[in-house]
Amino acid sequence: MHRRDLLKSAVAAGVGVVSAGAPRAEAGGAGQNQRRSTGAADYETFDLGDFPLLSGEVLRSASLAYQTHGELSAARDNVIVYPTWYAGRHTSNASSIGEDLALDPSRYFIVVPDQFGNGLSSSPSNSPAPQDRMRFPLVHPYDNVRAQHRLLTERYGIDRIKLVVGFSMSGQQAFHWGALYPDMVERIAPICGSAKTAVHNFVFLEGIKAALTADCAWAGGDYTSPPVAGLRAFSRVYAGWYASQSFFREGLHDTGGGVEGFLAGAERSFGRFDANDLLAMLATWQAADISAHPRFGGDLAAALGAIRARAFVMPSRTDLYFPPEDNEIEVPQMPNAELRVIPSIRGHLAGGGGNPEDRRWVSDQLEELLAT
């Protein structure tokens, strides 16, 4: 089913899913590796060929963009996977990678895959018809994980992963990695993410989606110029969910421009993305559920129980859409997991590596996890 059809169903039913955008990898055979440059940083693409999705559809001529840090050891035993998150690209992860941090490229080979829909990997904005724009198929987190697995095994010959770490949507991917490949993944560290998108989280996403698609310029995703008013509304609604009430009460939002400056920053952040791409990633987020796989048949307890990896699950104490309560339910059902709550008033932002204090706290937990 195309995401356009899913969106129409959502309008009628009060629920929904959706699609993604940027430069397209050049054609190549499945399994081929090619180097690209964004101007901001170099990255590579791994061609997946026609890639079967969990939905039953096939993503045609699929490609996965990624960046690596450090060197793969001769034994191929120093691998960390750190995927991108919502409205993020591989450059977004850089602040959490460094020789003074747990994700140390002098010790580890760190692979940063760009998720489908972010404009670098296969996305609505860079896919040809008939899978362009809102016709881009629904991608599940398991599809991202399976594509990443192919990259690691086919391109690098990797059969063990020391750690899968992720923030927000990529934190959800960490859960999916642990459930699908329990014999390969030694540790996971989901940061501000859950094993299944909660109903409240889903409803929040419906709100920002409605703000974007209410713009008459949206044209069902077949716009001839960006739906600027919709993107602006989307960004401003989302901005109120980034952080906690205390974050705003204490003035941490004000870096010189007041409230308007904070809102303008959100507009710049999301304005880098094609509207269809934002909705494709949002659809993946809404679909996240580690039990939604034939292996588990919708049994969330069984899927959580399948994660044998040592796990530190790290929600932010003040996250408004991935609250600690969701992880408090999940962690006891995982055989080797601990809950480590980030003591921050920065809400969801606490897990993204942008603040030095929160970044150091998370890094310290990762150091401890990697030492076990």
What are the counts of helices (DSSP H) followed by strands (DSSP E) for the chain? 12, 9
| Beta carbons of 64 and 148 less than 8 angstroms apart | yes
Q: Is 95 a catalytic residue?
A: no
- Angle, vertex CA 306, rays to CA 199 and CA 351, nearest 5: 50
Scanning the structure block, which residue is given the tokens 């690596």? Answer: 68
Peptide bond into 130 cis (omega under 30): yes
Active-site pick, 122, 140, 348, 363:
348
Choose among 152, 278, 292, 170: nearest CA to 226. Answer: 278
Cβ neighbours of 292 (radius 10 Å): 18
DSSP 35-91: EEE-SS-EEEEEEEEEEE-TTS-EEEEEEEEEEEES---TTS--EEE----TT--GG
CA neighbours closer than 13 Å in the CB half-sphere of residue 294: 4
Cβ neighbours of 236 (radius 10 Å): 17
Q: Is 319 a catalytic residue?
A: yes
How far is residue 242's CA from residue 251's CA, in Å, rounded to a whole number?
A: 14
Active-site pick, 277, 289, 319, 326:
319
Active-site pick, 19, 61, 127, 168:
168
Q: Is 358 a catalytic residue?
A: no
Amino acid letter for position 171: G
Q: List residues with catalytic annotation.
A: 168, 319, 348
